[in-house]
Amino acid sequence: MLQHAQRTVEAVDKSFPLGLVGREIAALDTPLAEFSTPLLVLDQQAMTHNLQVMADWTAERGLELMPHGKTTMAPVLWQRQLDAGCTGITVATGWQADVALLAGVPTVQLANTCTDPALLRRLAAHLLEHPDQELVCWADSLATIDLLERELPAASRLGVLVELGADGGRTGARDEDTAVAIAERVAASSTLTLYGAAGYEGALAHDRTEGSLATVGAYCERLAALVGRLRPLIEGTPWVSAGGSAYFDLVADAFAPLSEVRAILRSGAYIVHDSGFYRGISPLDTTRDVAEEQALLPAMRAYARVVSMPEPGLALLDAGKRDVPFDEGLPVPLAVAPQIGEAERPLDAEITALNDQHAFLRYRGEAPLALGDVVTLGLSHPCTAFDKWRLIPIVDDANIVSEAVETFF
């Protein structure tokens, strides 16, 4: 399951050594020192730790987890999440849903509306041929239901979660009465099946200030109340789904009083966490006074080499916007070494800007690094890290690359 055709390393795979060309990516067993820069790597031990932390956290609260697969778009990592107890995978577009279904994911939640007729028919055809799989999408208007019923065959088996939004938010019905009207329409449909309610609280805030937490908490309580209104319309156990990677603690609090529902989180970034945005906002980071064994750990990092030192206080690295994320904060220099994979020393410096293929590293006083040195970078926002790489090495504590992850963006 979750296995595409076995991939081998190709000569065009960014920063992979030529010695690995033709090798199956599931069995590399190669020193990290053989790879070139720039390079994104995943930490095997930290990922394993994070999978267990989140599995324990959700189980203790009686929650399911269908993590957002759009974070990694890596079926191999989706399988690790399912093996750790996740009950499905969430995606953001119809095309991503197709990838997940083709990869064999048993339950796919499309946290969005698909309005593309060709994609809808393609997804419906797959479901008809694979009765062991299910697809559940969101809808936030009666017009959406009209489109779905018009384009889908009667036996499509498409599940629907009514999306509740909020003023100033993103998608979603702006009030509960509208959401109920949509649910009534779905319940009466011969083409669609009503599953419950869903929403995304992360669009309403961007920090953990008192006001932001109050706004998010109030929205989550509205969503929890909505599923109660929809319950009489639903055959089977209702779903209620929310929870990005920033406020899943507030979602858990709001869902705690509910009974006889499938309360489903969709947090996706947890598998690799980060050294920037999520480190500052996640409820399971050590900065929140969470013990390390119960906290999420950064499991992705980049390596970039010094290619120029044109003036005092400035070094240019060979990683840029095409290699590392920058939308939720610039990379953070963590350490420096003479070569990739060698013993590191701490680095007191700052990345102040990125170009397409350069990072501007600023430092004070005597230069703490030299031309050709390799800088280890902590990164911010996994969703825009993975999409820059087709093949990403997984490295262990001994700096051995055991395998590589293929992404599908």
Q: What is the pLDDT of residue 360?
A: 98
Q: Which residues of 375-408 are buried (b: 16+ CB within 10 A; e: fewer)?
A: bbbbbbbbbbbbebbbbbbbbeeeebbebbbbbb
> Distance (Å, rounded) from C-alpha 286 to C-alpha 244?
19
DSSP 182-240: HHHHHHT-SSEEEEEEE--GGGG-SS--HHHHHHHHHHHHHHHHHHHHHGGG-SSSPEE
Question: Which residues of the chain register pLDDT less than 50?
Answer: 1
For 8-43+295-406, CATH gives 2.40.37.20
CATH topology of domain 44-274: TIM Barrel (3.20.20)
User: In this structure, how many other beta carbons lie within 10 angstroms of the beta carbon of residue 118?
Assistant: 9
Q: What is the pLDDT of residue 226?
A: 98
First-last CA distance in the chain: 20
Joined together, the tokens standing for residue 257 give 């009083």
| Residue owning tokens 């997940």 | 100
DSSP 242-308: E--SSSHHHHHHHHTT--SSEEEE---GGGT--SSHHHHH-TTSGGGT--GGGS----EEEEEEEEE
Looking at the chain, which residues constitute the CATH 3.20.20.10 domain(s)?
A: 44-274
> Distance (Å, rounded) from C-alpha 92 to C-alpha 33?
36
Q: What is the pLDDT of residue 155?
A: 84
User: Are the beta carbons of 359 and 312 closer than 8 angstroms?
Assistant: no
Q: What is the pLDDT of residue 2?
A: 55
**Entry field: residues in the chain:** 409
> Distance (Å, rounded) from C-alpha 332 to C-alpha 112?
33
The pTM assigned to this predicted structure is: 0.96
Which residues, 6 or more positions from 178, have their beta carbon under 8 angstroms from its beta carbon?
141
Q: What's the DSSP call for residue 6?
A: P
Q: What is the pLDDT of residue 154?
A: 86
Residue 297: closest CA among 287, 305, 306:
287
Q: What is the pLDDT of residue 5?
A: 56
Joined together, the tokens standing for residue 281 give 């906002």
User: Are the beta carbons of 55 and 85 closer than 8 angstroms?
Assistant: yes
Residue 370: closest CA among 303, 274, 305:
305
